[in-house]
């Protein structure tokens, strides 16, 4: 038993639309960031830098001890 041609066409059409739907929440999120000027990833990078600085300081202190 084979897949009907009309069903096959509908699947392909709907699958293309799905790609857009998968991307939609991500696009909307970045759209909101663009409007509000939020940069949450920068906050994370900043946190990482701070953590690295603390680690370096601590290791330096330990070296000095």
Partner 1 sequence: MIEQIKQVIDNLNGYGFSVLVLVLGVLEFSFGLYKKRWNTNEKWVDIACFTIPKLVVKPLVAYYSLLALPALLPTLKNTFDWVPFLWGCAIIAVADDLTQYWYHRLHHQVPWLWRFHRTHHSASYMGMAMASRQNIIYTLFFSQTYLTAALVYLGLGIPAIVVKGIKGTITTLAHSSIPWDKPFYQYKVLHPLAWILERTISTPATHHAHHAATTDDGVGYYKGNFGNMFFWWDIIFGTAHISRQYPKAYGISHYEGDQWYAQLAWPLFKSKVAGSELAADGPIIREDVPLQPHQLYRPDPVVALEAEQEQVDAQLQLQPVKA
- List of residues contacting partner 1 (CB under 8 A): 1-3, 7, 10-11, 14-15, 17-18, 21-22, 24-26, 28-29, 32, 40-41, 43-44
Q: How far is the CB of 11 from partner 1 (least distance, A)?
A: 7
**How many C-beta atoms lie closer than 10 Å to residue 33's C-beta?**
13
Q: Residue 62 in contact with residue 54, Cβ under 8 Å?
A: no
> If DSSP codes are grouped into helix, strand and coil, which group holds residue 1?
coil
Q: How far is the CB of 49 from partner 1 (least distance, A)?
A: 14
Q: Which is nearer to partner 1, 42 or 63 (CB)?
A: 42
């Amino acid at each position: 038993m084979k897949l009907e041609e009309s069903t096959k066409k509908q699947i392909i059409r709907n699958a293309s639309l799905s790609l857009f739907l998968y991307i939609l929440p991500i696009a909307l999120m970045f759209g909101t960031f663009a409007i509000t000027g939020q940069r949450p990833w920068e906050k994370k990078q900043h946190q990482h830098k701070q953590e690295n600085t603390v680690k370096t300081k601590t290791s330096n202190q330990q070296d000095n001890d």
